Amino acid sequence: MLRRPPRSTQGVSSAASDVYKRQVLTSGLWGNMQNVVCKLPDDMNLCTKKFEDFYKLEHVGRHLVWNAGVGECEVKSLFCAKPYTFILTVYQSSVLLLYNNADCYTFQQLIDQTKLPTEILKKQLLNLTNPKMGKLLIKANLKTPNFTPDETVQINKVFASTSLRVNMVPIVSKKKASDEHKKEFDEEIKELNKQRAAILQATIVKIMKGRRQERHNELITETIKLINAFKPDPVLIKQQIEWLIENEYLMRDEKDKGKYIYKPQ
């Protein structure tokens, strides 16, 4: 991904047109991941544009949204004594490839160029300026992990590492990853149940609108028969019947509590 080696001698690169992998998923499968605005490098934009044109020809009416927060890149160095390959987040690569054009930027200039929110850009830079990682970039104030708008961040032209493949992707602890996964999973289940409840409500109303009245067991059976998207839980169906009664779509027969009557809206 990203750039081919430019003809100039400085900077970093990657074979954008040689290897460009993407996954196309429905928005529901991405879950509740935050999609942060990021100005991608020109070569990557060229690849995404070509794929969008192809996708629109194959799938009329569909819309692609690129989620740069879940991607990784391999970027090759052209300025080091050895041919290093850096494994980066897409955000990090958007920062690093700016140094093909200049050796030094202020933190504010990096914000303006990448369009990344301050906290996210800071997180990406902390790994790139980490002494334990060899300091691919050098921040002016080494005494604090924070960045001021006018603080300079420059490329480290004497970068050195014992490994030719250097992973700069921030490591998430297992506990944090587990907690985030559980939170995301709980939110997805909550949203899924909400969607299923709406489907059940619409199906029950459709049945009752046509029949005007129906007994409890027959209504449960018919609802299960009409739902193809998922296997309805009778308990959930009963909950939606109660909701429809509370919101005056249905009512119980006063003489037979096991029978429901449709209430025209």
Residue pLDDT, tens place only, 153-169 = 999 988 888 889 888 88
The overall pTM is greater than 0.85: no
Low-confidence ranges of the chain (pLDDT < 50): 1-17, 177
Q: Whole-angstrom Cα distance, residue 49 to residue 6?
A: 21
Tokens 């914000």 sit on residue: 111
Any idea which residue has 């308990």 for tokens? 235
The amino acid present at 123, given as its one-letter code, is K
Q: Which of 15, 159, 153, 21 lies closest to 79 in space, CA to CA?
A: 159
Nearest by Cα to 44 from 96, 8, 82: 96
Quick one: CA dihedral 155, 34, 112, 118, positive or negative?
A: negative
Name the DSSP letter for residue 163. S
Burial class (CB in 10 A: 0-12, 13-18, 19+), 126: middle
Integer CA distances (angstroms), 246 to 40, 145, 243, in order:
51, 56, 5
CA distance linking residue 261 with residue 251, whole number of Å: 5
pLDDT at position 55, please? Answer: 82
Give the span between the Cα atoms of 84 and 126, in whole angstroms.
Answer: 20
Element (H, E) at 106: strand 104-106
Q: How far is CA 100 from CA 104, 198, 253, in A?
A: 10, 52, 76
Q: Which amino acid is at 66?
A: W
pLDDT of 187 reads 77
Paired with 18 in beta bridges are none
Cβ(12)–Cβ(76) under 8 Å?
yes
The pLDDT value given to residue 202: 93
What's the pLDDT score for residue 30?
58
